[in-house]
Every structure is written in structure tokens, then in C-alpha cells.
Amino acid sequence: MQVSSQSQSQHRELVAFRTADQDFSVDIMSVREIRMWSHATKLPNAPEYVCGVINLRGAVVPIIDLSARLGSGDTPTSDRNVIIIIGIGSKTVGILVEAVFDILSVPQSEIQPPPDLGGEKGVAAIDGLIPRDDGMIRIVNLGRVVPIADSLVN
């Protein structure tokens, strides 16, 4: 039993998704649910990367376009898009992505640190990189991507 829990702790469980024609992931423990795209109500004077808010079982939840937040342009909304509902501290926020494609269990030894490029906005939002034969999967640092969670919904 102890060996099993030891090997579990050396793996990171991630939800992998695609946005801006790139592959990203977030820690599975941050994900509360995955929903199909639904229209978001715009908020006046909200940052450009905020799509608006949705009603999630009586709670007002801000929706952030991850592609726009990372500086890769707006995600064209379609019925195929997905909202990943995440918990950050006591707040709930949705991130708009093109599609969720996998649940990963990655050995910690396979995760590489991002290169130091002088604190560029997009790179600072990445906690690590998972090399794959066909490219890399980036691990998103939700605390850096969603700093507005406290200011949008109390």
C-alpha cells in the first residue's frame, strides 16, 4: 500500500485542453466541472479577456477567454467550445477553451520548467512543460492567469 501512494504522489493529474491551436493543462484538483459553451452576459468596463458572466446554479461566475488572456487573440465562440469551471481559493471562475481532450497522469520527472524569458506575460502564466513527440503541453498557473477573480465576483 505504501509504495502505491508513493508512486501516486510522484504523478501530477491534469486536465488537458486546446486553445489558440496550442495544448494546455490545469491541475485536476482545480477543476470543478466541464460545461458546454453557453452565452455569457457582458460586463461593462471588464478587461478584454473577460467574456462576461454566466449563472451557474444561482452563482454568478465570470468567464475568461484563456486565449485572449494569454495574448493569442479571442477564441471564436462556437457550440463546440467548452468552459472549464475552476476553483481558485474561495472563488469560482470559468475559462473558455476550444476543447478538452484528455485527463493526464504525468510523472513529476517528465515536467520541465518553462524557460526564463524575462517575465514575459505568457511565459509567466506557465508552471511547466510536458514534452510530447508531437509538441508540448503547457501547465497553466491559474493564480497568474485569473488574478481578477476577487475583483469580478465577491
- Residue boundaries of the structural domains of the chain: 2-152
Categorize the per-residue pLDDT at 4 as very low, low, confident or very high, splitting at 50, 70 and 90. very low
d(CA 47, CA 121): 15
Categorize the per-residue pLDDT at 79 as very low, low, confident or very high, splitting at 50, 70 and 90. confident
pLDDT of residue 144: 85
Average pLDDT over the chain, rounded to whole?
85
Task: Report the pLDDT averaged over residues 2-31.
Answer: 82
d(CA 54, CA 85): 11
Residue 85 contacts residue 57 (beta carbons within 8 Å): no
| DSSP secondary structure letter of residue 114 | P
Q: Model-level pTM? A: 0.83
- pLDDT at residue 6 greater than cutoff 50: no
Task: Report the pLDDT averaged over residues 137-149.
Answer: 82
Tens digits of residue pLDDT in 36-51 = 988 899 999 999 999 9
Assigned architecture for domain 2-152:
Beta Barrel (2.40)
d(CA 131, CA 33): 26
3-state secondary structure of 90: coil
Burial label for 12, CB within 10 Å (0-12, 13-18, 19+), is: buried
CA distances from 39 to 52, 74, 77, 116, 140 (A): 9, 15, 9, 37, 24
Task: Report the pLDDT averaged over residues 100-117.
Answer: 90
- pLDDT at residue 151 greater than cutoff 90: no
Q: Which three cell numbers stand for residue 42?
A: 457582458
